[in-house]
Amino acid sequence: MIAWDQALAAPRDPAPPLPSDRDALLRGFHPDHAPGAMERLRVGVSAGQPCPAALADLLQSNALVEDVDIAGRAMREAEVLVLGGGGAGCIAALTAARDGARVLLVTKLRMGDGNTVMAEGGIQAAVGAEDSLQRHYEDTLRAGHFRADKALVAAMVRDGPASIRWLIQQGMGFDLEEGEDRIGGHLLRKKPGGATAARLLSFRDYTGLELMRVIREAVLLTPGITVLERHPVVELLTDPHGRCAGAVLLELGRREIVLARAGAVVLATGGAGRLHLNGFPTSNHYGATADGLVLAYRLGAGLREVESFQYHPTGIAWPPHLAGTLISEAARAAGGLLFNGLGQRFVDELAPRDVVAAAILREIAEGRAAAREGCEGVLLDTPGLEAANPGILAKRLVTLSHLAHRAGFDPAREPFLIRPTLHYQNGGIAIDAEGRTAVPGLFCAGEASGGLHGLNRLMGNALLELVAFGRRAGAAAVEAARGDRPRGVGLTHLAAWERGLVAAGLPLDRRAPMVFPPYGNVDLAAMLRQRVAA
């Protein structure tokens, strides 16, 4: 560990680092491989799969509600019910409504409160003359250690160019090449980590916020969509044939249970960063508590790659009150270098994220980190980036500059102290190319789904995924909803689930989903019990 003043005074050596054994680096230092990080699921359709212990506790929990809780409750009706108000959910709702369906869009917090708005770096799509769908496909599979579903990856990259056109049609802005006119200009393309071509499209360094701005406006202006905010989902409903037919919601304002019935349900509830796996801080929003995984799994949907999480290399390490806040990969894509406390480069900054994160953790573990007020990390050389590209911090890396201001320093004069932050759920609910799960009537899109990223996600593929599969799941849900309206809906699936818990020797008094992280001081189970008693 090197003191901050010594790390700043160390001469920088910009020479390319020596290559490392990637597999040995990941096994030795990536948090997914930490001793005791994983356990095997003991109940459910994916029993036997490895899973982080904290997530396994939630997946193998009993429901928050029972039949008595929902008896006589008000019922909302829709053809398509979308659970989640981030990018994937809003795009699925838009697609379904424009196909003529009556849509109920339900959010835990407010519409747009999710990880989408914090996606800073950009969106990948093979739109360059020197690029191809095949290269994007191969880059995605390679980055994910060839564990991704090839059919899903092919569908996503094939939808890439059309997804960008669709976003532009909705009113989304993109950065243009230097000197290009706003009308008819060429999109600025950058090369993201792990890619073989420049295919990252962005809007400054707040691309997700720009995407969510235009999508949210479109939802509010589209007839046929009813939005319920501050209504977290606490259970899914089934009909007598095992079809997903709606959801149990909790209206937070009045603490009342509300039921929603629909011909098809799209689950777009996001990731699990607020579980703080392995004790890491997170870049995720407050509601990222794996609710969708818990509810879909209890209903019988299979999971895949739930042992794999992405730790973004560049989370803020100092000051402590900003720990885990994301610094976009756009800084490294623009030429920002990483140095340890000795002034040495130690990794290719544009290697896949799992490699860069593991390399940073290696420097910390082996004593070459810089330390500031007890916080350890490595240096993101923003002064060097600004010197090489005058004005880049003010014009292109706006969010980074705002973060530095909040931290109390000038990034053109002083580097950031950074270390990995828990960022993305690589796996999730198993789906097909139209977003269908194994449960009839249940679809999934966005970070809650699995199969698109394997064991590591490429920068920019998350935004592409939520556009491509939000549209695919929304369209497929409309088709599924055009049959008979579900009847006799209830919680019939819970009896079999409880028998499975008992057979596996698991407790019945552990309840999930979590809905809010424990430090939020919101005990949903107690709240629901109080409402029933009243």
pLDDT in tens, the chain (534 residues): 999 999 999 999 999 998 889 999 999 999 999 999 999 999 999 999 999 999 999 999 999 999 999 999 989 999 999 999 999 999 999 999 999 999 999 999 999 999 999 998 899 999 999 999 999 999 999 999 999 999 999 999 999 999 999 999 999 999 999 865 655 679 999 998 899 999 999 999 899 999 999 999 999 999 999 999 999 999 999 999 999 999 999 999 999 999 999 999 999 999 999 999 999 999 999 999 999 999 999 999 999 999 999 999 999 999 999 999 999 988 998 999 999 999 999 999 999 999 999 999 999 999 999 999 999 999 999 999 999 999 999 988 999 999 999 999 999 999 999 999 999 999 999 999 999 999 999 999 999 999 999 999 999 999 999 999 999 999 999 999 998 788 899 999 999 999 999 999 999 999 999 999 998 777 766 667 665 544
Judge if 2-35+310-423 and 67-308+426-481 fold alike in CATH terms: no
Q: Can you tell me the distance from the alpha carbon of 522 to that of 518, in angstroms, rounded to the nearest whole number? A: 7
Burial of 483 (0-12, 13-18, 19+ CB in 10 A): exposed
Q: How many CB atoms lie within 10 A of CB 9?
A: 10
pLDDT in the model for residue 207: 96
CA-based R_g, the chain, Å: 23
pLDDT in the model for residue 213: 98
pLDDT in the model for residue 180: 59
pTM of the model: 0.95
Burial of 425 (0-12, 13-18, 19+ CB in 10 A): buried
pLDDT in the model for residue 484: 78
The DSSP code for 114 is S
Q: Can you tell me the distance from the alpha carbon of 443 to that of 473, in angstroms, rounded to the nearest whole number? A: 6
pLDDT in the model for residue 184: 60
pLDDT in the model for residue 112: 95
Is 425 in contact with 309 (CB distance < 8 Å)?
Answer: yes
The DSSP code for 506 is -
What is the token pair recorded at 288? 């990222």
Catalytic positions: 353
Helix or strand run (H / E) with residue 461: helix 461-481
Residues whose CB is less than 8 angstroms from the CB of residue 265 and which lie 6 or more positions away in sequence, other chains included: 80, 81, 82, 83, 236, 244, 245, 246, 247, 441, 442, 443, 477
What is the token pair recorded at 409? 């320093």
Q: Please give the distance of CA 405 from its chain centroid, rounded to a whole number.
A: 26
Task: Delimit the domains of the chain by residue range.
Answer: 2-35+310-423, 67-308+426-481
Helix (DSSP H) and strand (DSSP E) numbers for the chain: 18, 20
Q: Can you tell me the distance from the alpha carbon of 532 to that of 121, in angstroms, rounded to the nearest whole number? A: 46
Q: Give the right CATH number for 67-308+426-481 from 1.10.3720.10, 1.10.3470.10, 3.40.50.360, 3.50.50.60.
A: 3.50.50.60
pLDDT in the model for residue 179: 67
- In words, the CATH class of domain 2-35+310-423 is alpha beta
